Chains A and B, each alone.
Chain A
């Protein structure tokens, strides 16, 4: 690690914590109301710009798909804007775009998410269209085929993209046939097989207000937001069948490696990683701090320092930690010249060993802690940022006071906590390695 030779540069900076506390959302300035049909509404006012952001999710995702029809959840989500009982696709597009608004849908492992943005004067219209799309889609056959075509093209583009192919190979190696490894987009075969009836029955079985969450942030009184959401969604009823538990993930007991040949490409992409913890695991925050040291802080942390700055091997080399309701992944990624793949993997493993074998020096640890806590005001500047934070706290069950507890939690972590997390998850002998390379 480079020593801090220029401490004097920072000496003039004086931080007043109280300023930042004001901008952190909490239970006292975020309205949280659960409607009788199970919808949770989160509303926070922000009067700085004449705009509103809506973000939320329904309890339906990839884990609900029939195992031979992977891609059904995201296919269904793509169909929501393609016509309802009262509006055609063209009418919806014209209505939303002509006021400069946007509404989008997407599925992930557990949920189907949606987001919308508009001028505050147009919120009623946007909520009305959003409710219509979620509650009354018609799945016209013509649009099913059109959307299938987009998906087949996206799959073809992925097959020609080293970054995506390395990521896909990594997930296949790590999860095998386990449901957590299901691909959101699905395969050529499954996308050909999914028909209109499959989409309709998936929609009818799993889309319901129960457990739905909607966050609205922007220039509107919070009480009024709740009333408007109630108008759009209050009379929607129904419950989805409960989701069966998942089988245990098989342990990673030996090194798994795959090289995906992609002739005529110029650069290789590498994903090297491990299974990680759940989001609510007690060592998650320590691992997040360790990941910041490893591959985030400044210019991509120690990985960036080693692979890019010292060895000049890559434009990008960083690490990412993903954790959710089930165990997530902790991975290092890099894009390098094909001749440098082995050297880059060696450098990535060397940094992993260092994080396991040596406690992070106090000043380096303090840097990453300051980054994790100090960057919160930036993340919460816009309506999108606040809505994203509210949704994350609600989904993960962190509590609305999470951001106010966050700084103290991060500051309390020690080098020993980070080292313990690194030792628990980052085994330099047993890992998953996927390389897509010419």
Chain B
């Protein structure tokens, strides 16, 4: 088996960071561009603006009139999308490798020349409101959004990425365009390319297309620090259905924090290994502690926990679907008992070794796909730096059982949690036995 080619990092004079990794297993390549802007950079009254800007980048430039970009990629047999998250906005194109130049031309074009046509802005307003309303149909979305707003008081992580309905009704074309101009610059962008290309000519071509774009003004750093949490918080959302859901969130360290890798091991032991594919799937968590405590005991029909790798401290969250006929209070008690156990006793050496082997396997699977690889290279550079990804397995292997217990005690205390219940209002006599 050939080892993966090394990652190469280049910075252009205008500040654009370029990460490349050659992968020659298949004649395909994936081009990603990341902007350091997400709901983290938004203020009250214009939440959701970063996501809306992302939509507008598909609505045309003078060289690619509306609709032409997606057709041009599809014509070449390609795959494309855009995604907005709390810390970033990103776009990618995966194409047969001899056609990847189209991605470079399209992305360099829309970094500088997106049109934001007023009529297109209005049509997209209702599309995004429809996207929000589709989310609102999902009870777990409603619960997650409410809980996130309870966890953070000062930090913009309290706002959902899609934004509040009234903001989506009020945001103007001028606000959108100004947001675009401030954040879509080489200085705050990262390009990540993985696949079947030669690094030297790829970097030269990126420089040719992006090098002439002015670097842009630097965005003042976000200085908000979330104040300490001084006690448990509770949120209840009521809505249709007969299924109850539970979510518990703790404040967690950022990706670059020295505690982060120990938290990843804790996450894996409690909730199982996470797949690294963008398309999901590929893992089960039936031997995890939470599954044994909540699902094998027939309290919940599914359980999960999730630690996000983020720029600022975010959350470590636990979620469960309450089994038909069970109550959220029983599920909550069982979940908290497992969390207490992680604080009270060190994990076993066998659990430690298992979590590392599981993660190693997921890294191997992720090297099958240029799209997954491009994602991880760019993502890592945005939330930490690409070296964080490259040394991830080694840093994980260095974690000890004592480290895991220490971080559990540091972050999972009683006063540090926020607990959310989705209480269904149909057939409440059966589902809700308090």
| Chain A positions near chain B (C-beta within 8 angstroms) | 2, 4-6, 9-10, 12-16, 19-20, 22-23, 46-51, 81, 89-90, 93-94, 96-102, 104, 117-119, 145-146, 149-150, 152-154, 156-157, 159-163, 219, 262-267, 297-299, 305, 308-316, 335-337, 367, 370-371, 373-378, 380-384
What CA separation (Å) do A145 and B298 show in the bound complex?
A: 9
- Asked if B212 CB lies within 8 Å of chain A CBs, one says no
User: A residues within 8 A CB of B102?
Assistant: 9-10, 13
Considering only residues 289-314 of chain B, those with a C-beta below 8 Å from chain A are: 292, 296, 298, 301-302
| In the assembled complex, B387 has its CB within 8 A of some CB on chain A | no
Contacts of B66 in A (CB 8 A): 2, 309
By the criterion CB–CB under 8 Å, are B124 and A312 in contact? yes
User: For B282, B288, B324, which residue has the most chain A Cβ atoms within 10 angstroms?
Assistant: B324
Question: Main SS of the interface on chain B?
Answer: mixed
- Residues of chain B within 8 A (CB-CB) of A267 are 130, 133-134, 136-137
> Which residue of chain B has its CB nearest to the CB of A13?
B99
- Which residue from A19, A100, A266, A380 sits with its C-beta under 8 Å from B133? A266
Q: Are A94 and B137 in contact (CB-based, < 8 A)?
A: no
Do A149 and B301 have beta carbons less than 8 Å apart?
yes
B residues near A146, Cβ cutoff 8 Å: 296, 298
* CA A410 to CA B360, docked complex, whole Å: 41
Known contacts A6-B64, A13-B99, A266-B133; is-contact A297 B74 (Cβ 8 Å): yes
Q: Which residue of A lies closest to B365 (CB)?
A: A51
B46 at the interface (CB under 8 A from A): no
Query: Are B98 and A154 in contact, CB atoms less than 8 angstroms apart?
Result: no
Chain B 274-292, CB-CB to A under 8 Å as 1, else 0, gives 0000000011111110001
Q: Which of B25, B68, B136, B362 contacts A2 (CB 8 A)?
A: B68
On whether A119 and B361 interact (CB within 8 A), knowing A160-B242, A371-B75, A374-B77, the answer reads yes
Q: Does B232 contact A (CB under 8 A)?
A: no
Interface digits, B333-351 against A, CB 8 Å rule (1 contact, 0 not)? 0000000000000000000
Pair B105/A9 contact, Cβ less than 8 Å: yes
B163 to chain A, nearest CB (A): 14
Contact indicator B283/A102 (Cβ below 8 Å): yes
Chain B residues lying within 8 Å of A20, measured Cβ to Cβ, are: 27, 96
- The reply to whether the CB of B122 lies closer than 8 angstroms to some CB of chain A is yes
Question: A315 and B130 in contact (CB under 8 A), knowing A9-B105, A149-B323?
Answer: yes
Contact call A299/B96, Cβ cutoff below 8 A: no
B123 is contacted by which of A156, A160, A309 (Cβ under 8 Å)?
A309
**Shortest distance between the CB of B422 and any CB in chain A (Å):** 10
Q: How far is the CA of A156 from the CA of B136 in the complex (A)?
A: 18
The 4 A-B residue pairs whose C-beta atoms are closest, nearest first, are: A374-B77, A100-B361, A48-B25, A160-B241
B70, B136, B367, B370: which has the most chain A beta carbons within 10 Å?
A: B70
Contact of A377 among B96, B321, B368 (CB under 8 A): B96
With A48-B26, A312-B122 already in contact, 20 other A-B pairs whose C-beta atoms are closer than 8 Å: A5-B68, A46-B25, A48-B2, A50-B1, A93-B284, A96-B287, A97-B287, A119-B364, A154-B301, A157-B321, A160-B243, A163-B137, A297-B74, A298-B67, A309-B123, A374-B78, A375-B78, A377-B26, A377-B77, A381-B26
Interface check B47, CB cutoff 8 A:
no
Cβ contact within 8 Å between B68 and A309 = no
- Of the candidates B73, B130, B283, the one whose C-beta lies within 8 Å of that of A314 is B130
Within 8 A of A (CB), among B210-254: 239-243
User: Across the interface, do A150 and B301 meet the contact criterion of CB distance under 8 Å?
Assistant: yes
- A residues within 8 A CB of B243? 153, 156-157, 160
Are A298 and B126 within 8 A (Cβ)?
no
Bound-complex Cα distance A228 to B245 (A): 44
Interface size on B, residues (CB 8 A): 88
B358 sits at the interface (CB 8 A): yes
* Nearest chain B CB to A133 CB, angstrom units: 13
Query: Separation in Å of the B102 CB from the closest CB of chain A?
Result: 7
- Residues of chain A with a CB closer than 8 A to B63's CB: 6, 9
Q: Which residues of B contact A161 (CB under 8 A)?
A: 137-138
Cα distance, A6 to B134, chains bound together (Å)? 35
Residue contacts A-B, CB under 8 angstroms, 20 given: A2-B65, A10-B75, A23-B27, A51-B364, A93-B286, A97-B354, A98-B357, A98-B358, A102-B284, A219-B1, A266-B133, A267-B136, A309-B66, A312-B124, A337-B130, A374-B76, A377-B27, A377-B28, A377-B96, A378-B95
User: Cβ of A313 and Cβ of B78 under 8 Å apart?
Assistant: no
Chain B 53-72 near chain A by CB (<8 Å), digits 1 or 0:
00000100001111110111
Given contacts A2-B66, A93-B284, A370-B75, contact A263 B240 (CB under 8 A): yes
Q: Is the CB of A49 within 8 A of B25?
A: yes
Are B74's CB and A367's CB within 8 A?
yes
**Closest beta carbon of chain A to B293's beta carbon, Å:** 13
Give, as a whole number of angstroms, the nearest-CB distance from B59 to chain A: 8
The closest CB in chain B to the CB of A120 belongs to B1
With a cutoff of 8 Å between Cβ atoms, the chain B residues found around residue A48 in the complex are 2, 23, 25-26, 367-368
Is the C-beta of B125 less than 8 angstroms from some C-beta in chain A? yes
B274: shortest Cβ distance to chain A, in Å? Answer: 11
| B79 and A378 contacting across the interface, CB-CB below 8 Å | yes
Q: Specify which chain A residues have a CB less than 8 angstroms from the CB of B156 in the assembled complex.
A: none
Is B287's CB under 8 angstroms from A98's CB? Answer: yes
Q: How far is the CA of A71 from the CA of B27 in the complex (A)?
A: 42
B369 contacts A381, C-beta separation under 8 Å: yes
Inter-subunit contact A2/B67 (CB<8 Å): yes
Chain A: minimal CB distance from B423 (Å): 13
At the interface, yes or no: B208 with Cβ under 8 Å from chain A? no
Whether B257 sits at the interface, judged by CB under 8 Å, is no
Residues in B whose Cβ lies below 8 Å from that of A299: 58, 67, 70
Complex interface: chain A residues within 8 A of B79 (CB)? 375, 378
